[in-house]
Structure 1
Amino acid sequence: MKRVKATVLATLCLGCIGSVALAHSGVKNPAVLARMENMKSIGAGMEVLSNMVKGKVAFDAAKARAAAGDIARHSTQTVALFEAPETDPKTEAKPLIWERFDDFTTKAGATETLAIALSQSLETPDDLNAGFMQLGASCKACHRDYKD
């Protein structure tokens, strides 16, 4: 059951990754582009983990920890990249971010914390499945409220 949930979450995460790649075309505001590039990097790490969870590639603890580390490293930049209420016609960030910046900061911090923990503790496929589900749920919680 856990593997099925993780696989479903992995599929949803890959859908988010694809929409981010398309959104970058035509962005004129450099601050918005920097945010999108940061999210794209987080998405790339999630894709590595997702492919392992779904069994598309063999589980490799070292690669999974490295991907989680990349997610953590880029997650540390998220709040700073969103401090200024920059906008662009191509942005997917809702204005609600700046109206509820404390909540946004808390959710971004939770993702960072989970990614750091996963990058330091992941050893087995079960660790990956559990950690990926938590990390994906954290991403989804923020995207649900703050992404168009």
Structure 2
Amino acid sequence: MRNLLTASVLFLSFSIAAVAHAAVENTAVQARMDAMKAIGGAMKTLGNMAKGSVDFDATAAEAAVDVVAVQSAMLPTLFEAQETDPMSEAKPEIWTNWDDFVAKANAMTAAAEAVSIVDAGSIGAAMEAIGGSCKGCHSEYRM
């Protein structure tokens, strides 16, 4: 059941992202943006639960964490080739500091895989661990 829910969340995330980035011409850049959008959507799900704007749902929270883990694990492959597009927010430093970029992507994956959401109170710690890795990469590699 959990795999089905994770797959559904991924599909929905990619569907929404595809509409949001319709102006992107480069398919490799589009795939990167879709992955980032899926991670952002998962973090929004967790954030809404943490704020109490939606009820805590352990299955949905774990599915959101799974989305982050799966998508972040794909980032080194998605960014391997230096592709460009006017809509891209990727800085060229990704490729000049490749090992650091990969380490930061791997740190996000490890953070997502390490969290355990057992109740609403554990969402904050999960978001802090994952969010710190997001910020670490975005501050250096995103325009």
Q: Normalising TM by the smaller chain, what interval?
A: 0.7 to 0.9
TM-score (norm 1): 0.80
Where in structure 1 are there 5+ consecutive unaligned residues? Answer: 1-19
Task: Give CA deviations for 1:63-106 in whole Å, capped at 9, x if unaligned.
Answer: 11111011111111111000101111110000000010100001
Where in structure 2 are there 5+ consecutive unaligned residues? Answer: 1-16
Mapped to 2, the partners of 1:80 and 1:28 lie a distance apart of 19
After TM superposition, the runs of 4+ consecutive aligned structure 1 residues lying more than 6 A away are 20-23
Q: How many pairs align? A: 127
- Secondary structure, aligned partner of 1:73: helix
1:48 equivalent in structure 2: 45
Mapped to 1, the partners of 2:103 and 2:119 lie a distance apart of 29
Identity %: 47
Mapped to 2, the partners of 1:21 and 1:31 lie a distance apart of 13
1:123 equivalent in structure 2: 118
2:8 equivalent in structure 1: none
Partner amino acid for 1:29? N
- State the structure with bigger RCO (CA 8 A, min sep 6), 1 or 2: 1
Matches within 5 A, 1:1-148: 24-118=21-115, 121-148=116-143
Mapped to 1, the partners of 2:104 and 2:63 lie a distance apart of 22
TM-score (norm 2): 0.83
